[in-house]
Every structure is written in structure tokens, then in C-alpha cells.
Structure 1
Amino acid sequence: MATKGDRKRKSSEKPTKPLTSSHTETWLIPVVTLLITILHHAHVSTLFENDRHFSHLSEVEREMSFRTEMGMYYSYYKTIVESETFSEGLYKIKHDNLTEYPSTINALKKFNLFPEVAIGFLYHNLKWLGMIPTRLCWQVERGEGLTPVTSCEGLGEPIYLYLQVVWCCASATMAILFLYAEGLSSSISGGLIAVALYFYNHNDCTRVQWTPPLRENFAYPALLGQMFNVTSILKRYMITRKVKWNDMHQDSPNRGMVICTLLSLLCWQFSQFVFATQLFALLILKWLQIIPNELYKKFCLIHAIPVTIFIIWTQNNLVLCSLYTCMLIASTIFSLLSSKLPLHIAVPFEVAGTLFGTQFLKFVLINSEDDAHIFDILTAKLTNYKNFHTMLYTCSSEFDFLQYETYEAIIKTLLLPTAIMSGILILYYWYRCYRTEGLPNCIEMHVAYNLLQTGAFIIMAIFIMRLKLFMTPHLCIIASLVSNKRYLEKIEIKNPKVRAFVLALLFACMSFTGIQRLYEEHSFVGEYSNIEQEQLLDWIQRNTPSNAVFAGKMSLMANIMLSTRRPIVNNPYYEDKEMRSVGLSHIQINSSTLPNISSLCRERTLKVYEIFSRKDVSTVYKTLMDMKVDYVVLEESLCYDVGSSMPGCQMTDLWDLVDERNSRRPPVCPILCRGNPYPFRRVFVNRRYVVLQLGPSMSIELNPKIIEYHQF
């Protein structure tokens, strides 16, 4: 039975505005949100400019700074804006013969290019309306015997329009974070604490200021907004305890949840894994009887709408065959089947049915290999299992375990201690409510969901450091609950002045280290320069035909395609099973299977990366000729394994996993770089790169003029 205090609290919280702390504070929320949005826009754009001196770079230098898959994604935007019309540019990316030569692919279907298409559409419409502002250009002297370059800035420059959209997405992230934390904690002070902690741990919350074109920068605002809508629905349901579906269907959080889910899927292929953790968190709450079965089924319906739209629209197999979709189908089926069973039978039946049903759909009925690399990476993290493509991931620092520096930072800025303190206050509040209301009414379902979601993000970040971009912002949101009036009153901090003093003291302690970190970030001033790669791109433009086909390191291929528009045979989109060595993960390597490896594994990256193997030169040459490659680009640091920080992560080590027969032979790459490359022909050399030509001309003599001209 509810107590008198509970009745007062419930009557004061209006179902129509469940995430607003009080009427007297409502007018402040839009003002504070706007100020925070402007501040974060200035923050990320300033850090980006300070890091690269972007405004004084040439167009080629700017494009080179978009490394690896960033360059590939930006190249599609460049294709659209350089076309006469938007429809012409859209046709080109739907019939793309540059990215995976000699294949012609529908890049719009295969990659998550919704941001580039949307910004390209905006550019063409602004141009058609005559609203593209004039750009400001000047000549920049670079010194050191380098030729001057022309730099332009302003929204009239396509790259600046692209960046402005990215900064707006980052600003939206901060606005949603504030509203999310303010609503969860029911106080503006909670929202401000979350925002301050986000700024103080900025490098651990986002990479937008260093890597603007990455998919996460477009998808994360929608992901955060989607979780905000889930929290809003749960809190509304908790307050009213009975919500008619017709009423819920008319509420904006449901429309918002559908839109945010769809946008997230369109912008980033990894969004499906986040939604899988969300479904699992909601399932746990349902199995513990914290949320009712009917509410969970309504969540499934809300999820099903954008998933269906996305699959029909894009025909994307990665989402269709994903763990997320399988869990959604299985949990919906068993929720319907268990709805009329007795409770003591329904819960075990549902748990077993959902778990086994998901496994059956995913690994037996569908058995797709599109996301097999994700499960292989997890297996490699937990066991000694490894193969070529898992090592390409795990040898990267971004896919390493969460580093000590991150723990140190979130402790020094009091992010982790404050989040833990919030957790203790929540548990104590639930314990006090349990004594009067019992289970499950004492559990706040919207808070419980966010605790489980944060726990999932922490586990993900511990195993893969790159995923701390989910963990750290959600820790900021959980930390905001330390200012919740309900929780503080339970520990006898009832005086508003005392609460204000405690929060001000906490804010001051966080700021002691946090402001120092902000100052260090803004005090750094750098300038992007990569002369060797610029020489390579210039040589390609001047000395190779426009249809010359290139192969080499994945990240470099993206820049070659972006800046020279030459076809490439492999690219950095390693999520595609055709671009990685998935076939080898299911083959037991032994003497009987080794002769058949080339016929069993046709994946592009593995075949191109034979240049780093221990095979003989003629074998590598034949493999590349079969792929119709005209030029292969070698990076000497990879040939000589310079800078391999992790043991067992040299390129030859990766190849020894799949080509044990040749493990005692010398690596081929140093021979191609500095030895006799026949039947290749060495046509370009500088301090970092070597270009080898394939084709009918088999002269083994080097051209001294070419090499000498391009060397320092």
C-alpha cells in the first residue's frame, strides 16, 4: 500500500511532462540547452582546427587527413557534390566501380551512406537556391622548398558544409545528454553535472574532434535520443502504472523512438549491437517482473517498425541476419506464447525460449557470416583463438582492452566515483522503498534500465577500448542521479541549502582536474603534414591513367580513391565478409588443405595482403594479376615491421597463422621494396612508399631518374 508521502509525490509528477523537474524550472531548460549546444559546437570545431590548422591546408591535405574509412565515406560525398545534379551523383554511388574493382556495386545499399547523401542533397539544394555563400581563399606558403597551396574556407567550400553538419550532430549530442540527465535526475543541476563531466572527459566520450566522417558521429545523437525516449516511456509508465496503448501510440516519445532507431541504423552498422543490448536489458527487467509483459511487447513493436523499414529500404543483410533482429523475433514470439501461462511457468519458459530461440535463428536457421567477425573477435578476447582477420582487429589499439589511462582519467575527474555514489544512493532508496512497497514496485524501472544499459556499455568498453564512447557518456548520465532530491532526502539531506552546498562542493572537486584537462586540450596547436603521401598522390595523378587499378594497405586505398579517383580492389570496410578472410576461420589449416587455400578463400583483403606474406614473388604477382591490379603500393614501415608495439602483431606473424608451410621463408615485402622485384617493376620510391607496376613490361632495371626525383 502506498504511503502518504508516496501519494504526494505521485500527484506532483504529471504524466504529460514526466521528464521535467518542476514548473518553476521549465523555462530554464531551453535556455540552458541552447547555451550548452553553442558551447559544444565551438569546443569541437576549435579542437579540430587547433589540431590540424585545417583552414590553411590545401584540398589534398584536407582529404589526406581523413584517414582509413573516413576517406572512403567522404569520397561518396565528394562524388555527389562534384556531380552536375544530385540525382546524377546518387546514380554514380549506386553504380560504383571504383571501390571494389572490377565489381560494380550499389554503395548506397552496401555502406551506411545516409549522412553523405543527406548532406549532398543539402548542398545541391542550397546551390540551386543560390544560397551557397562565397568562400574566402588565400595562398599559403609552406616553406621547406614546398610549393605554395591555395586554401579556402567557408560554407561555399563543400568540405566545410560537411564539417558544419558534423559539428551540429555533436551539438545535438550534448543537448540530448543534458535533457536526458536532467529528466532522469529530475533536476537541472543533474543535467549540468552530466554536461560538466562530459566536457572534463571529452577525449573518452567522443572522437568527433579528431575523426569527423566516422559513422558514430552521425549515429550517436540518434542512439542517445532513442535511449532517452525509452527512459521517457518507462518513467511515464511507472508514474501512471496503467497506460493505454492508444494513448502511448499518440505520444511523441514513440514516434521519436521509431525515428531515432531508424536514423541510427541508417547511419551506422554497429547500431544494431547497441539495440541488442537494449532489448536484453528490457528482457531482464521483464523477467524480474519490473516491467510488464504488455509494455515489453509494445517496445518490440516500436523496434520492429524501423527495422522493417530499414531492411526493405536498404536490403541490408547485416541487420536482417543480426543478433538484434533474431532476439527481437524470438523474444516477441515467446512473450506472446507465455502471456496466458501461470507466472511460475511463464518466466522460465520465456527465458529458455528466448535464449535458445535467438541462438537457433542466428546460428542455425540463418547462419550468416556477415557479422561473424564480431563473434570471432569476442572469442579471441576470451580464448587463445585467433586467425588473420581477428588479428587485424585486435592488433589495433582501438580494439585492445580498455587502457589504464581511461580508468585514471574517469577517477581523477570524479566521474567513476560519482557514478558509484549514485548507484549506492539508488540502491539505498530502493531498499527503503522495499520496506513499504515491496518488490517489484520499489524498483524504478527507468532507472533500472539505465543501470543495466550502462553495465552493458562498461562490459563492451572493457573488451574493446573503442566502445568507451558508449560507456563514458552513460556514466555521466548515471552520475547526474547524485543530485536527485528523492535520493538525498533518504539520507537526511532535506535542507535545500545543504543540498546546494553538497552539489557545489562536488562540482568544485570535479572541476579541479577537469578544467586542467580542458586547458591542456585547447592549448595544443598542431599542423597536419604528410609530404610523402602527398608526393605519392601527386605522382599517381600525373603518371598513371585514370582507369589504373591500385591495391595495397586498406587505409591508404581509401585516400587514393578519394584524392585521385583511381579504382581500388580493396577498401577499409572490413565488416563485409567479401573484404576479409572469413573463409579461413572455418578451415582447419594443415598440409592437406594448404594447397587449396587460394581456391577456398577468395576474399580481397587476404589476397592483396599476400604482399606481406612469405610467399615467393611470382606467386604474389600472379594473385594480383588475377585481381586485375595495375599498381600495388607498399608502405615500408609495414614491410620492415617498424612500430609494431604488440607482440605477434607484425604482418608476417599474421600470415604465419594461415600459411604455416612458408613460415620459414623470408618475407616477400622487403624484397619488393629494396631487392629485385621481378616480375614487378618498381616505378616510384620515396622515404615511405614504393609503387610497383604490374603488366606486360617486365624490365627488371630500375629507372634511376624516377627514384632519385621522388626521394629526399
Structure 2
Amino acid sequence: MAVKSRRQQQQQHRETRHDKPRRSGPEIEEKKSGVFDRGKSRLVSGQIGSRGGSLLNIGIPLLLAAVAGVLHWYHISSLFENDRHFSHLSTLEKEMGFRTEMGLYYSYFKTIIEAPSFLSGVIMVMNDNRTEYPLIINTLKRFNLYPEILLASWYRLYTGTMGHFDYVTKTCWTVNRGEGLHPVNSCEGLGDPASFYVAIVFALNGLMLSFFFIIGAYVSGSSLGGIVTVLCFFFNHGESTRVMWTPPLRESFSYPFLIFQMLVLTHILRTPKAGKCAFVALSVSNVFFMLPWQFAQFVLLTQVASLFAAYIIGYLESDRLQHLLYAHMGIIALKSKLIQYYKEGFLLWIAQSIILLISTIILKMLLSILLRTSDDAHISNLIKSKFTSYKDFDTMMYTCAAEFDFMEKETPLRYTRTLLLPTTLFVIIAITVKIIKDVWIFSRKTESHMVNGDKYSLETTAQFSNGEMVYHFFQLIAFAVLAILIMRLKLFLTPHMCIMASLICSRQLFGWIKPKALHHLLVVGIISAMAVQGIANLRGQWNIIGEFSNVPQEELLEWIKTRTKADAVFAGAMPTMASVKLSTGRPIVNHPHYEDAGLRERTKLVYAMYSRKPAEVVKQNLMRLKVDYFILEESWCIRRTRPGCSMPEIWDVEDPSNIGKVPLCTLIEQNPQPHFKMVFQNDVYTVLRVPKATKDL
């Protein structure tokens, strides 16, 4: 009876809609060709979101979204714990587990929670002289430490409140590590700083998958679409995120807000008259997306380009675009002037595209000159190196790392095995056919107006509906280009492919599959085929069982804490410097945040130890930076990820005059005298001291 009642409501809804005045001529043809009214699309089966939608219809999708979020939170938390046995690690081992940038970011969280007060901790972070000694820098601004500020405030509030009520927030015990290692104290619970930190990150990324479900359901018009998105994400989890291995990275805090931003943007594009609350939500999500991550601006640039592409071909009206992106695209103001010169729509599209491209390039150049900034210069050089033979020290530091190389050939194969790539391509073909069909119908209508002597004018409203679908189409193309150029950016591509895969459930695209039950049956069949490799991928993740241990680095850090002064200055490989700052609190001169131009120059001076330069030159570099100790790692001297990518070979590009000489690091390993004095050595690390007498010269 409930099904019958719902069908009666749908029939009554259709009859009510048919009672409205109908347009004639070409507009009727548009409706028949599959151009649908955006305002009629609902989250589930045409009902969710309507005023008459029942609480049950709304509640079920929200419940499914919540379940997806909880499952993802549990999945990534379990993977992180299984990989490192994190709950049973000592405080030092937990900190060592946060390598490279992760350790650097976490160190500021540690600084704030250990400060006498929250305010004094923030002041210390904003006036830091231990990260790029002897410079005093605002690390809050430089490293986008807003998540650490927020989490530190929550941690202090949580521990303070629980302490007031004498509530135990952590459980500690002694762990016998065996193998000749001394026992360590290990703590578990939200009262443990590292556990609290990662718990918040995993909770946020669990919520992210709830947003994914809602986007998939909203775009496709069916809860089944949301299920497809979530399952595709799980089946391709290793290609979709790395939060379970690297929780403190900026993307772990930022990316969930991009997904929420896309959800709000999708709603704005679909709704004929979006309210102010939607635009406020869009602005707020933009802020939360951009604050933690310096790369966010480039992602939003691809979004601007995707929206503009949808506008150019008629799926987005200019008024809506101006409300969304007027700050980024003031060029739209020239629209009325362009129309006076270009009457044909195709020429107008070309003119707008050229002006957008030229204005973007000119604006970027002018801002760089006026503000005298070079922090983003390495980005343009990195892109240049992808298409030309251009090389320099900085670009090779990026391109020699696998994550900054072109997308590996195995990635599309992995997409194919889970059927994510074939499904996405099928959806792309369907959207392309729809676009071509819509444009052809509109051009026929335009020709008809011109033949009848009607004056042609460019309307301020979009010619076609489903602008949100076309936006996601272009956004996928933009992410695909980024991922092909830089493999690390496939973390944008894969999740968006999961969103696009949800459109196999869309009746707007595949309404020709009848009856509707057959369409759903085909979708279930596709999901079943995806699950064959998808479940195998999940089992592969679940079978990762390990326990973190880095005895050589532990020996190094313990030696630094016990055998050096609190103000001793260190230099060395960027990942190691992050651990030194985090676990010992000693000042460092270089660190893994390589995006800053000044830091790149400092790192080049430090990494001269791995060049073929004379020892005297390198010693003078370290003296200029006021370094007391240099941590030498032999692996950095001989490691070669591929031909031309060892540190001495990278230096050969920068310093061709010394090609053919023995690398300095090799000579220093054999005999550091007379320029340096070896004060510590184990299987991995050698600590060199710059003699005081030499440093005073």
C-alpha cells in the first residue's frame, strides 16, 4: 500500500506539472531530447528535497551517509593502527612516525599544548626562531598551522575539563620491546596528544565520505548513486587517499572541506534560485579549504576554469557565475562589450576563452612583480620541466620523487580492474553526447530565429539545464590533467571519478533504459563486477600488519637530547630535521616545507654536503647559517631513485664545473678532518660538528 500511495503521489505530481502552460517550438524539442528541469531533481527517486518529501525519505539517505562516514573512520583508523601498532608505541616512537612534513606540523601542536598557556603557545608559534635559525618567522602564516591552533585549543580544553572532574583520559603501561631494547612507557586514549591529534583527523575524513555519499546521491538523483560513489571510493581506497598513512599532512585537514564545497556548489548550480545561505556556506567552505593548505588556490583555479567552460557552452548563466566567482573573473564585465563586436555565439566563446587565459597570465605576472614574490616560481618551473628539457636543482628535487613524476602506467590498469575507469568513461561519453545534442538543438533554434528575422541576443539565462553535471564533467577533465602531470594529484582525480561513476544511476542520462527496474539491475551488476577486484584491494589493505621501529633514529635523537645543548643548531636532510625539531626541540636551519623561496636557498646551501664542491666551501655555507652540527646520512649520498636522480647527479646540473669529482659526502664519510669532527655515528647517521675555532674565523 505504501508503494501504491507513493506512485499515486508521483502521478499526481506529473499531472500537476502538465497542467502548467507549456512552451512551444524548439523548447519542447529540448525537453524531449533529455534537457531536464534542474528544479525537479531530488536526492532519492525524485522525492527527497521536495516540500512534500517525508521524513523517512530524507532520513534514509542521511542514515546511509552517516554509516558511510563511520565505516570510513573505522577503516582508516584500523589501517593506521595495524600498520604501526600506534597505540603501543612510546611518545618518542609516535613522534618519529610523523616523518618529514608531518613531524614539522605536529611539532607546533606540541609547542602549544606544552606552553604555559594557550596564548603564550600561539605567540611562540608566531615568533619562532627554531625552525629557520636564526631567523624569526611567523610559522602560523608560513605553514598554514590553523588546524594545529584549533586542535591544540580543543586538547587543552578537553584535558582541562576532564582533569577538573578527575576523569582519566589515558591509560599508560610499560612495553617490553625485546631485541635488546630498553622498555618504554606507552599511553593510549584521547589524553595522549598524538592519539588525540590523529583521532580528530580520522573523524574529519570519516565525515568526508558522508559528503561523498550525499554528492553522489544528489548528482545522480538516487541513493543508489551515493552507494556507488562510496563503494568505488572503498574499492579504490589506495588510489583515493593517503590519510591513513599520513594524517598530519595539510590535505588531510583541507580536502574534506573541498568535498563539502563541491556539494554546496552542486546545489547552487542545480537550484534555479539558490538562497543567500547557500552562498554563505560556499564562502565559508572556501575559507576552511584554503586556510590549511597552500595548494588549495591551484585547485580552486581548476574549479574556476570548469565553471567558465560550463558557462561558455551555455550551461551556466552569467548572473550565477558572477555571484559565484566575481572576485576571480572580473572579465565577465566585458561581456556586454564583446557582444557588440561578436554576434555569433562561437566567436563569443573563443573571445571569452582567450581573454580569460591572457588575463590570468598577465595578472599572475603583475602580482609577482609588484609583490616581489618568488615562492610559486618552482611551480611554473616544475610545469616547464614536464614539457621541455628544462632542469634546475629545485625542479629535480621534485621530479626525482615518484609522487611528482608523471602518472605511472599501472594506475589506469588499477582503475580498469575495479571497473572505475570503464564506468567513468561510459558516463563521460553519455555527457558528451548530451552536450553535443543540446548545443545542436540550440543552434537550430538560433538559426530558426535568424531565418525568421528575429534579432539575436545572448540571454542572461543558461540555454541548457544540468549545469552541475557539466561542471563535474569539466572538473574531472581538469583533475585528470593534473594527475597525469603529477602523480601525487591523483588524490583529486580518483575521488572525482567515484563521483562521476554515480551518474550511471542517473535517469536523466540513462532514462532510455527501460523499465527502471532493469536500469537498477544493471547498476547492481556493475557494482558486483567492481567488487571482485575491489574486495581484493580491501583485503590487501587489511592484511598490512606491522609495528613501527626506527632504532637508529631513536639512538640519534636520544644522543641529541642528552649530549648537546638546548640551543645547539642542526642541519641535514629535510625529513630528519623535522624529527630533530619535534623530538628534541633543537633549532634547525632547514626543514621539509620546500615551497618557500628563502627555504629553498637555505636547503641548497645545506645540501651542498652531497655535492662535489670543496669541503671548505660547504663549511663556509654552514658557518653562514650558524650551524653547530650537521647530520650526514650515507643513503642520501648513494641513493638513486632512477638515472640522474642521486644527489651528486642533481648537483651536476646546478654545478657543472665540478662534474667528475668524488662527492664530498663520500670523502667526509672516510675522513671528516680537518673541516669537521665526527661526534656520533651509527649504521645510518653520522653527526659532524663544525669546530668552534673554525667557526670563529
SS of residue matched to 1:487? helix
**Deviation per CA, 1:211-249, whole angstroms, max 9, x where unpaired?**
000000110011111122222111113xxxxx4xxxx45
Match of 1:475 among 484, 488, 497: 497
SS of residue matched to 2:511? helix
Superposition pairs of residues 525-674 of structure 1, within 5 angstroms: 525-580=545-600, 603-639=601-637, 641-642=638-639, 644-674=640-670
- Following superposition, the deviation at residue 664 of structure 1 comes to 2.6
Superposition pairs of residues 247-266 of structure 1, within 5 angstroms: 248-250=274-276, 252-266=277-291
Corresponding position of 1:420 = 425
Call closer, same or farther: CA 1:377–1:431 in 2, change over 3 Å. Answer: closer
Superposition pairs of residues 57-96 of structure 1, within 5 angstroms: 57-96=89-128
- Following superposition, the deviation at residue 350 of structure 1 comes to 3.2
Residue identity in the other structure for 2:416: I
Task: Confirm or deny: 8 A CA contact 1:680 1:698 kept in the other structure.
Answer: no
Task: Confirm or deny: 8 A CA contact 1:181 1:480 kept in the other structure.
Answer: yes
Say whether 1:278 aligns with 2:303: yes
Residue identity in the other structure for 1:654: I
Call closer, same or farther: CA 1:637–1:13 in 2, change over 3 Å. Answer: closer
- Following superposition, the deviation at residue 124 of structure 1 comes to 1.7
Structure 1 unmatched ranges of 5 or more: 238-242, 305-327, 581-602, 700-712
Say whether 1:35 aligns with 2:67: yes
Call closer, same or farther: CA 1:276–1:337 in 2, change over 3 Å. Answer: farther
Counterpart Cα distance in 2 of 1:211 and 1:180: 25
Counterpart Cα distance in 1 of 2:441 and 2:593: 55
Task: Confirm or deny: 8 A CA contact 1:18 1:235 kept in the other structure.
Answer: no
Say whether 1:453 aligns with 2:475: yes
Say whether 1:117 aligns with 2:149: yes
Counterpart Cα distance in 1 of 2:386 and 2:36: 50
Corresponding position of 1:388 = 393
Counterpart Cα distance in 1 of 2:528 and 2:660: 61
Counterpart Cα distance in 2 of 1:432 and 1:657: 53
**Deviation per CA, 1:143-166, whole angstroms, max 9, x where unpaired?**
110001111010011111111110
Call closer, same or farther: CA 1:437–1:289 in 2, change over 3 Å. Answer: closer
- Following superposition, the deviation at residue 535 of structure 1 comes to 0.4
Residue identity in the other structure for 2:592: P
**Deviation per CA, 1:135-183, whole angstroms, max 9, x where unpaired?**
0111111111000111101001111111111001211210111111111
**Deviation per CA, 1:626-679, whole angstroms, max 9, x where unpaired?**
11000000111112x13x121100111111112111113211101212224322
Counterpart Cα distance in 2 of 1:253 and 1:210: 34
Task: Confirm or deny: 8 A CA contact 1:265 1:271 kept in the other structure.
Answer: yes
Counterpart Cα distance in 1 of 2:69 and 2:557: 38
Counterpart Cα distance in 2 of 1:337 and 1:130: 65
Corresponding position of 1:200 = 235
Residue identity in the other structure for 1:421: F
SS of residue matched to 2:162? coil
Task: Confirm or deny: 8 A CA contact 2:38 2:271 kept in the other structure.
Answer: no
Task: Confirm or deny: 8 A CA contact 1:681 1:698 kept in the other structure.
Answer: no
Corresponding position of 2:377 = 372
Call closer, same or farther: CA 1:393–1:8 in 2, change over 3 Å. Answer: closer
Counterpart Cα distance in 2 of 1:203 and 1:186: 28
- Following superposition, the deviation at residue 352 of structure 1 comes to 3.1
Residue identity in the other structure for 1:361: L
Corresponding position of 1:172 = 207
Counterpart Cα distance in 2 of 1:170 and 1:660: 47
Counterpart Cα distance in 1 of 2:592 and 2:627: 17
Residue identity in the other structure for 1:110: R
Corresponding position of 1:362 = 364
Residue identity in the other structure for 1:154: G
SS of residue matched to 1:216? helix
Counterpart Cα distance in 1 of 2:613 and 2:435: 64
Say whether 1:331 aligns with 2:331: yes
Say whether 1:489 aligns with 2:487: no
Corresponding position of 2:458 = none
Say whether 1:140 aligns with 2:175: yes
Counterpart Cα distance in 2 of 1:400 and 1:12: 43
Match of 2:245 among 199, 207, 210: 210
Counterpart Cα distance in 1 of 2:494 and 2:200: 23
Call closer, same or farther: CA 1:674–1:426 in 2, change over 3 Å. Answer: same
Counterpart Cα distance in 2 of 1:577 and 1:428: 46
Call closer, same or farther: CA 1:300–1:340 in 2, change over 3 Å. Answer: farther
Task: Confirm or deny: 8 A CA contact 2:672 2:678 kept in the other structure.
Answer: no
Corresponding position of 1:587 = none
SS of residue matched to 2:128? coil
Task: Confirm or deny: 8 A CA contact 2:431 2:473 kept in the other structure.
Answer: no
Residue identity in the other structure for 1:514: G
Counterpart Cα distance in 2 of 1:341 and 1:130: 70
Task: Confirm or deny: 8 A CA contact 1:334 1:353 kept in the other structure.
Answer: no
Task: Confirm or deny: 8 A CA contact 2:290 2:296 kept in the other structure.
Answer: yes
Corresponding position of 2:543 = 523
Match of 2:678 among 678, 682, 687: 682
- Following superposition, the deviation at residue 330 of structure 1 comes to 5.2
Say whether 1:350 aligns with 2:352: yes
Call closer, same or farther: CA 1:213–1:20 in 2, change over 3 Å. Answer: farther
Corresponding position of 2:160 = 128
Call closer, same or farther: CA 1:82–1:676 in 2, change over 3 Å. Answer: closer
Call closer, same or farther: CA 1:365–1:37 in 2, change over 3 Å. Answer: closer
SS of residue matched to 1:26? helix
Call closer, same or farther: CA 1:157–1:343 in 2, change over 3 Å. Answer: farther
SS of residue matched to 1:369? coil
- Following superposition, the deviation at residue 292 of structure 1 comes to 2.1
Call closer, same or farther: CA 1:456–1:16 in 2, change over 3 Å. Answer: closer
Corresponding position of 2:530 = 510
Task: Confirm or deny: 8 A CA contact 1:97 1:103 kept in the other structure.
Answer: yes
Structure 2 unmatched ranges of 5 or more: 1-25, 48-52, 445-461
Residue identity in the other structure for 2:594: Y
- Following superposition, the deviation at residue 436 of structure 1 comes to 6.0
- Following superposition, the deviation at residue 624 of structure 1 comes to 0.4
**Deviation per CA, 1:668-705, whole angstroms, max 9, x where unpaired?**
10121222432211000000000000132579xxxxxx
Counterpart Cα distance in 1 of 2:693 and 2:683: 25
Task: Confirm or deny: 8 A CA contact 1:457 1:470 kept in the other structure.
Answer: yes
Higher RCO (C-alpha 8 Å, min separation 6)? 2
- Following superposition, the deviation at residue 349 of structure 1 comes to 4.3
Further displaced range: 612-621 or 349-358: 349-358
SS of residue matched to 1:27? helix
Residue identity in the other structure for 2:391: K
Corresponding position of 2:454 = none
State the TM-score, normalizing by the size of structure 1: 0.85
Residue identity in the other structure for 1:614: R
Corresponding position of 1:151 = 186
SS of residue matched to 1:142? coil
Q: How many residues align?
A: 638
Task: Confirm or deny: 8 A CA contact 1:550 1:633 kept in the other structure.
Answer: yes
**Deviation per CA, 1:504-548, whole angstroms, max 9, x where unpaired?**
111110001101111111022111111100000000001000000
Counterpart Cα distance in 1 of 2:436 and 2:116: 66
Task: Confirm or deny: 8 A CA contact 1:51 1:526 kept in the other structure.
Answer: yes
Counterpart Cα distance in 2 of 1:272 and 1:335: 25
